[in-house]
Amino acid sequence: MEKVSVLAITKNGVNIGIKLREFFPSWKVFAPKKFEDENKEIEWYSEPTTEKIVELFKNNEGLVCLFSLGAVIRLIAPHLKDKKTDPAVIVIDDKINFVISVLSGHIGGANELTQEIAKKINAIPVITTAADVNKTISVDLVGRKFGWRIEDESTVTKVSACMVNNEKIAVFQDVGNKKWYEELPKNIKLCENFDELKNSNSKGYLIISDKKIEGDFLKDSVVYRPPSLYVGIGLHWDTTKETIKEGIDFCMKKYNLSPKSIAKLVSIKKPEDVQGLIDIGKEMEIPVEYITREELSQISTPNPSDTVKSFEGTASVSEAAAIKASKGKLIVEKQKFPPNLTIAIARKTD
């Protein structure tokens, strides 16, 4: 967590803030101007604390408050939005007995930071989220460190309840890093395929895949989308954003793949970047990677073209780019969209 502020409103709180900076030197410590001394480590403020805490709440990834839990709750309550956008909020008491995770424990990182602070200052961490208390899997954090995305956030609460209540949950994974867990709880069953998953008579399901999935069981499922797909694109200087989008959508639908698993759009490095590719990357919020013709020419592909070689200096763009960037296996061979677009897709293998 990069941007964290500490708010102290007592003299003792100021001292605790100084102590925290010894362990976390990038953190900023704020305290009322009435306590001001020559200490340059503190940022002294003159506005009311009710205003200052709102400013810090809105402009930080984490907020550590060195005063009572009740006061903190009253001050931040009117400004809460949701767990995906609210910062991590942590409270430390005036005697440094407890470090309490108050808000955004999982997604916001408050639980993890609480543990870290408590260890540094020799205090007791207080964490109340059910998954942590029961030492089971936090459904909303599965694969987070690998960049996995959740298909539909609305099912997370339901499956999380199944998890903490020790109800049977089936798991199927066909892509992505398999080291997302150290030891699975006893209520989890690993399935080899979808049929086994569907017939497992489970209360909830975790699915880790880049394939499109259908079925009534999805209402009881959390589907994770690892960034496993690399879309190679051959194009002309005038190929438009709309043309590229139509081509990608066609391939995703035809081959039953999820756009949420696209890791990169990849193409040949031209003298000038194609505006249509720049635009579609921004629209889809997917990074674009460029590979030189010299590198592409070294990649063996199933569908090389003399025509492409005469124009680009390499016999393959879309297939070679997808394979090169993914370091994986081509799963969609070159699809042609005349007159100015080809698309191929490769899957990264972890």
Per-position DSSP letters for 212-276, written without gaps between them: ---SGGGGGEEEEE-S-EEEEEEE-TT--HHHHHHHHHHHHHHTTB-GGGEEEEEEE--SS--HH
- What distance in Å separates the CA atoms of residue 256 and residue 164, rounded to the nearest whole number? 33
Task: Please give the Cα distance from 51 to 32 (Å, whole number).
Answer: 12
- Predicted local confidence at residue 132, as pLDDT: 56
User: Is 331 buried (19+), middle (13-18) or exposed (0-12) by CB count in 10 A?
Assistant: middle
- Answering whether pTM is above 0.85, one says no
Q: Which residue type sits at 41?
A: E
Question: pLDDT band at residue 137, thresholds of 50, 70 and 90?
Answer: confident
Structure confidence by residue, pLDDT tens digits, 76-94: 999 998 877 899 999 999 9
pLDDT single digits (tens) 244-303 = 999 999 999 999 999 999 999 999 999 999 999 999 999 999 999 999 999 999 999 999
Whose structure tokens read 């430390």?
92
CB 148 within 8 A of CB 225: yes
Asked if the model's pLDDT at residue 307 lies above 60, the reply is: yes
Residue 189 parent element (H or E)? strand 188-191
Q: What is the pLDDT of residue 164?
A: 82
Taking CA atoms, 123 is separated from 54, 92, 129, 294, in Å, by 27, 9, 19, 58
Model pLDDT, residue 66? 96
SS3 82: coil
Residues 6+ apart with CB under 8 A from 194: 172, 213
